[in-house]
Amino acid sequence: MSKEMLEAFDTLEKTKGIKKEVIVDAIKAALVAAYKKNYNQAQNVEVDFDERTGNFKVMAVKTVVDEVQDDRLEVSLKDALAINGAYEVGDEIRFEVTPKNFGRISAQTAKQVIMQRLREAERNNIIDEYSQYEDELITGTVERRDNRFVYVKIGNVEAVMSTHDQMPNETYNPQDKVRVLVTHVGSDSKGAQITVSRTAPDVVKRLFEQEVPEIYNGTVEIVSIAREAGDRTKIAVKSNDPNIDPVGTCVGQGGTRVQNVVNELGGENIDIVQYEDDPSDYIANALNPAEVIAVQFSDEDDEKSALVIVPDYQLSLAIGKKGQNVRLAARLTGYKIDIRPESEVEFVDEDKKNSTENKESDAETANDEVEATVKHDASTSDNTEE
């Protein structure tokens, strides 16, 4: 067995990169635990490894004392001097206490440790290899699925796609090719773990990087993405070159670029809007395709909030089906957005007036409100005359 063990150590070091010293130290620690468990010993023991023969020996370590209190841990000075006249109180002496059948125990323990180290090495190799793909798109093959997960083969490893990472409008069958985003590379008690997604916002980002060279080289920049996977996505872009239209660049001639992304996502609607440094313009763009008359900001709230005024006939469009348009716009811009129809502008201004009538700025606020009311009345009058 000893010869085979030495050969196994050499093979592991050459093929798996696991140092012999690492394995030997792990086996020593395991053998100490096995000795104490199997022989019910509370001795202070160590395990030695003979690199020439490949054998392990158990050594009890005892301290030299004048008077022995615990013979499992101590040895008298008299007995120590009988071994070697140079020993003094406080010295440590090592005695071999290897049991007769310890060879069998050491062989079993060594096998278990080697298998454990092999699993750890494979896990670390997978992590090292696939960490470079984290947050990147990669093509895999569906292997199987259960009630919660889809298992995707990527290279020689199996990645996991959980329910919330699966597109609601897609089905995943064995042998299907699927492009996924690697969201996490790590490990758990079972070994290496790779998680992938089809619903993460960065899936859209990576697809546009592949379709639009100007995004890949940094001429056009994706500032923000708000996504409800399988249904609709809003993406805000800006150009670092004043001569390049970021929205048109992403759409492509005849809409080919954005259509390729839409097709990859199973028909998911994509709104591409231009990012603006001015929050009013940015919010107005984010609410596309709705028309925006004005955007007002509150100075009283700690959170970023905006009141958006739209034509009455555009209210439903601005809010969107089940509130989706305004919800995505809010996530895209980072603002809490309250949408009101134009007909409520006067009512909104009255609310503002009532909340500020005791402040020093009454006169200025009142003038602003009168002006807004006059404009509203004039607009109403024009409509009546028509």
Q: Is there a single domain that holds both residue 219 and residue 161?
A: no
Domain of 81, CATH number, reads 3.30.1480.10
- End-of-domain residue from the set 97, 125, 153: 125
Q: Is there a single domain that holds both residue 114 and residue 225?
A: no
Residue type, 123: R
pLDDT digits (tens, 9 = 90+) for 322-362: 999 999 999 999 999 999 999 987 644 444 444 334 433 44
Question: Would you say residue 209 lies in a domain?
Answer: yes
DSSP state of 322: G
Please provide the average confidence, as pLDDT, over all residues in the chain: 85
Say what the pLDDT of residue 346 is: 63
Instruction: Give the C-alpha distances (Å, rounded to integers) separating 28 from 17, 24, 49.
Output: 20, 6, 8
Instruction: Give the C-alpha distances (Å, rounded to integers) separating 142 from 160, 173, 245.
Output: 10, 6, 39
Question: Would you say residue 375 lies in a domain?
Answer: no
Question: Would you say residue 105 lies in a domain?
Answer: yes
pLDDT digits (tens, 9 = 90+) for 83-124: 898 999 999 999 888 888 887 887 788 888 888 888 888 888
Q: Is there a single domain that holds both residue 192 and residue 208?
A: no
Count of structural domains, the chain: 3
Q: Is there a single domain that holds both residue 247 and residue 335?
A: yes
Three-state secondary-structure class, residue 320: coil
Q: Is there a single domain that holds both residue 214 and residue 263?
A: yes
Q: Is there a single domain that holds both residue 223 and residue 323?
A: yes
Question: Would you say residue 294 lies in a domain?
Answer: yes
Say what the pLDDT of residue 40 is: 66
- What is the Cα–Cα distance from 329 to 295, expressed in whole angstroms? 13
Three-state secondary-structure class, residue 212: coil
Q: Is there a single domain that holds both residue 336 and residue 206?
A: yes
Instruction: Give the C-alpha distances (Å, rounded to integers) separating 374 from 95, 340, 350, 354.
Output: 104, 19, 13, 18
Q: Is there a single domain that holds both residue 44 and residue 69?
A: yes
Q: Is there a single domain that holds both residue 255 and residue 270?
A: yes
Q: Is there a single domain that holds both residue 103 and residue 180?
A: no
Domain of 151, CATH number, reads 2.40.50.140
H or E element: which one contains 160? strand 157-161
Give Cβ neighbours of residue 337 (< 8 Å, ≥ 6 apart). Answer: 283, 287, 305, 306, 308, 326, 329, 330
Question: Would you say residue 169 lies in a domain?
Answer: yes
Q: Is there a single domain that holds both residue 252 and residue 280?
A: yes
pLDDT digits (tens, 9 = 90+) for 227-276: 999 999 999 999 999 999 999 999 999 999 999 999 999 999 999 999 99
Q: Give the bridge partners for 227, in sequence order.
A: 233
- End-of-domain residue from the set 67, 101, 125: 125
Query: Angle, to 10 degrees, between the axis of helix 20-39 and the axis of helix 2-15?
Result: 140
Given pLDDT bands bounded at 50, 70 and 90, which one contains residue 37? confident
Domain of 284, CATH number, reads 3.30.300.20
Question: Would you say residue 333 lies in a domain?
Answer: yes
Max CA pair span of the chain:
125
Question: Would you say residue 194 lies in a domain?
Answer: yes
Instruction: Look up the domain containing 120 and give its range.
Output: 2-125
CB 238 within 8 A of CB 223: yes
Q: Is there a single domain that holds both residue 183 and residue 208?
A: no
**What's the pTM value of the predicted model, to 2 decimals?**
0.68
Question: Would you say residue 150 lies in a domain?
Answer: yes
Say what the pLDDT of residue 373 is: 37
Share of the chain above pLDDT 90, in %: 55
- End-of-domain residue from the set 101, 125, 149: 125
| Among the ranges given (37-46, 185-194, 208-217), the one the predictor scored with the smallest mean pLDDT | 37-46
